[in-house]
A and B are shown apart, each in its own frame.
Chain A
């Protein structure tokens, strides 16, 4: 890990005096991605709970069956909306990491974020192969 951070890491200060950490880099895209993901997924969950409360039936199908998810949402059923919310929740951290890669282009943070994205890709690969 020392190698990844490099020799100059021992003296580098990654926070600017105004409190924003990356010198020159913005965190706006990452936090916007996370906030938007939070809001959309919360909206989907709210719809799912509301449909459950009013007694709409739930017919679960495979989450990989996109047409089943869309059909369930349009009926509308709690399962489709809950599934969409769950997918958004799982995908959002990866979108946040992608935003970090763009914000930190050419810096170590971008490579670290790419590494984490690679690990998430491995997880997705394992999940799809099972």
Chain B
């Protein structure tokens, strides 16, 4: 079986698993391509970015139509994430592959620890009606019960700063950046989790596009590999989203934590041995 077919199949699995756990496919597909299929890490990152854009494009169209994604907030934060995507893409295309492996391993450990902490204690609800909070007021229709939910997006400057960092991580490591954007919008800016996840998805496409251009020009983006990865992650994400209500989230999280830590160790090993 050719590498393209294998990449297509593992990308479906990675996209599905990522959607089930709620972290996107990039965090899984890069180590899978690198560790299991022996693809150079920069080529894997570039292919993953194409998958991130494809998944974001398709999901954003739905989220914009449904009115859940906050386009004004998303566009505002996009100024920061897209700029971060450029610096991340520039760094990623020139930095040594072993350093990237080390950084990716660190990111996997960070996300795994975040998931362990989420299991231990759920975050306290954030008040959305603080009149002194600054920012701007918005609302959306909650699809589960049809009620209108108002909120105030606060701390826009801090959110912008963190978004710039998220764009850097996305461009540097080929992941969506949602692992940083979503908790920032939800916990620090007071945006409801449903709006935070959909707005983050809307932001991923242009952010990853800013980085992908740089990987493309650096000659590390292999279109023949990117094609099955993008299509596979896209299909897997749709399957995963449909299955998510039927699968135990607790068991999935434990599985992800285990897989992430195993991949992290292999990335660290790769960083040391080259």
Q: Determine if B124 is an interface residue (Cβ-Cβ < 8 Å).
A: no
Question: Do B53 and A17 have beta carbons less than 8 Å apart?
Answer: no
Interface size class of A (residues with CB under 8 A): 35 or more
Residue of B nearest to A79 (CB): B224
| B residues 41-72 in Cβ contact with A at 8 Å | 50, 53-54, 56-58, 60-62, 64-72
Q: Determine if A66 is an interface residue (Cβ-Cβ < 8 Å).
A: no
With A31-B64, A52-B5 as contacts: A120 and B75 at CB distance below 8 Å:
no
Question: Do A93 and B231 have beta carbons less than 8 Å apart?
Answer: no
Question: Do B137 and A45 have beta carbons less than 8 Å apart?
Answer: no
Q: Mark each residue of chain B from 231 to 267: 1 if its CB lies under 8 Å from any CB of chain A, else 0.
A: 1001000000000000000000000000000000000
Give the residue of A32, A53, A63, A115 whose beta carbon is less than 8 angstroms from that of B79.
Answer: A115
Chain B at the A interface: mostly helix, strand, loop or mixed? helix
Binds A, one of B31-39, B138-146, B174-182: B138-146
With A90-B53, A126-B90 as contacts: A15 and B217 at CB distance below 8 Å:
no
Residue of B nearest to A1 (CB): B156
With A14-B136, A21-B140, A93-B206 as contacts: A112 and B156 at CB distance below 8 Å:
no
Q: Determine if B172 is an interface residue (Cβ-Cβ < 8 Å).
A: no
Q: Determine if B8 is an interface residue (Cβ-Cβ < 8 Å).
A: yes
Q: Mark each residue of chain A from 9 to 36: 1 if its CB lies under 8 Å from any CB of chain B, else 0.
A: 1111111111111100001101110110
Question: Do A20 and B67 have beta carbons less than 8 Å apart?
Answer: yes
A-B residue pair count with CB separations less than 8 angstroms? 222
9 sampled A-B residue pairs with Cβ under 8 A: A15-B138, A16-B67, A27-B64, A38-B58, A49-B228, A49-B231, A52-B2, A52-B228, A112-B72
Using CB atoms and an 8 Å cutoff, list the residues of chain A in contact with chain B.
1-2, 4-5, 9-22, 27-28, 30-32, 34-35, 37-38, 41-42, 44-46, 48-49, 52-53, 58, 60, 63, 78-79, 81-83, 85-86, 89-94, 96-97, 100, 108-109, 112-113, 115-116, 119-120, 122-124, 126-128, 130
Using CB atoms and an 8 Å cutoff, list the residues of chain B in contact with chain A.
2, 4-5, 8, 50, 53-54, 56-58, 60-62, 64-72, 75-76, 78-79, 82-83, 85-86, 89-90, 134-141, 148, 150, 156-157, 160, 205-206, 209-214, 216-218, 221-224, 226-228, 230-231, 234
